[in-house]
Amino acid sequence: MLKKTVFLVFILLLFSRFSVAALPLQADGQALPSLAPMLEHATPAVVNIATRSIVKNHANQLLNDPLLRRFFELPRPRPRESKSLGSGVIVDAKRGYILTNNHVIDGADSISVTLRDGRELQAKMIGADPKVDLAVIQIPSDNLVALPWSQNTPLRVGDFVVAVGNPFGLGQTVTSGIISALGRSSLGIEDYEDFIQTDASINPGNSGGALVNLRGELIGINTAILGPNGSNIGIGFAIPASMAQQIMTQLIEFGEVRRGHLGISVQNLTPRLRQAFGLASHHGVVITQVDESSPAQRAGLHAGDVILALDGKKVRGTARLRNAIGLLRVGQKVTLEIVRNGQKRSLSATIAQNEQRTMEGGRISPYLQGAQLSNKGEKQGERTQAGVLISKLKENSPAAQNGLRVGDLIVSANRQNVHTISALKKAVSRAKNLLINLHRGKQALFLLIQ
């Protein structure tokens, strides 16, 4: 009878949303189950992050012209301050590295980190990956506590988990629940998705915080919630620690993620397609297109091949395959198990550099903030003029105020020919001024931005 009573109290401690502070520490001389010992070791590694950004007022061009301001005695435009709150996880105590979400620190002019012991430190940016929504920042490594990574223990639906973060700016808060689902994708939240779904309460401000198991090991980075008006309804999502660790390694090494490229388009297999291809297995994807001069073409892959496994791991859908390839490094060799005309084969491919096709202009230069950049080839009679296209433009953004328009094709920057986004990034790096040669309709013109 006593064992049943202790078990029921344990369940109440895990799932009750009501205060249990009045419960005794012992019942009939025996200690009650508690998560407190684990949390005493885990919570010092979870930090609160506050960012501050200065947003210039671009609403009225007259206010930005010093001559017109002087002539008409117009007031000087005042920049406004933007603040945001979030969470982060110390993952390397010796070097002071903190893992958080990209959207927590995106566009920040200053990043302030508050530790569990009350210390407030200034952080510097190390690198960010908007496609997965992860970022690495760094603080002085003085008497820090890091959260250990999960030791390759397979996650299961129903495992107990604890979320630690800073919801609504209240300060460090702990909630508990279970893993509701694994491998959630195609949600439209990020470009690369393989989420852990949990019913542990996650609210605004929890972003970048830790999802831990009952051993106090990091199993995920809390990222998003699904609910009306951003409210919690028991559906939260976290980036798996395995994915976060791979992304973090590249961010520390390169400041960005250099994603690999295989050069294929794939499609999920329906029951009818499985029958048409004569497949007995219930996993795999079919190749619909192979890019010319791609690693896939050099490896001998063809449209109609069915990929069953990548490096020995079963392929369970297009999203999973895309995530797996996106985490591979340039130059890495992979083995693909395929079915072609009913026969199994094994092919080897070497991952190549994936040229970035789109980028937000602010990541290249503050002058280009607000412009969506895309690699583009423009027909010029018999030839194609390559360049970087302004595909989207935010109204009153710095890029718009600097004279750029949707449809402009940048062909050179600072007197260097620009064929791709990578070339544009190289041409404008560390430049105080920006001299752009662009095509606008049938016209060509230079634009000097200072």
Active site residue 150: no
- Cα-flanking dihedrals φ and ψ of residue 313, to 5°? -100, 130
Q: Are 398 and 369 in contact (CB under 8 A)?
A: yes
Structure tokens at 431: 């430049």
What tokens were used for 75?
């007031």
Residue 375's SS3 state is: strand
Is 201 considered catalytic here? no
Other C-beta atoms closer than 10 Å to the C-beta of 159 total: 16
Contact 410, 377 (CB under 8 A): no
Q: Which of 58, 87, 103, 180 is catalytic?
A: 103
What does the alpha-carbon distance between residue 229 and residue 247 come to, in Å, rounded to a whole number?
30
Q: How would you label 295-314 residue by residue, b for 16+ Cβ within 10 Å and e otherwise?
A: bbbebebeeebbbbbbeeee
Question: What would the two tokens of residue 267 be?
Answer: 């499609």
C-beta of residue 309 within 8 angstroms of C-beta of residue 344: no
Nearest in space to 88 (alpha carbons), one of 64, 71, 105: 105
Q: Which one from 129, 133, 194, 408 is the annotated catalytic residue?
A: 133
Q: What are 176-182's contacts with CB under 8 Å, separation 24+?
A: 176/14, 176/15, 176/35, 176/200, 177/15, 177/201, 177/234, 179/155, 180/235, 181/157, 182/155, 182/156, 182/157
- End-to-end Cα spacing for the chain: 78
Is residue 207 flagged as an active site residue? yes
Is beta strand 260-261 parallel, antiparallel or unpaired with respect to 236-240? unpaired
Exposure string (b/e) for 270-283, b if CB count within 10 Å is 16 or more? Answer: eeeebeebebeeee
Closest CA to 449 of 395, 53, 441, 438: 438
Distance CA 428, CA 402 (A): 15
**Contact yes or no for 59/84 (Cβ under 8 A):** no
Could you say which of 84, 176, 201, 207 is catalytic?
A: 207
Neighbour tally for 401: CB within 10 Å:
17
- Catalytically active residues, by annotation: 103, 133, 207
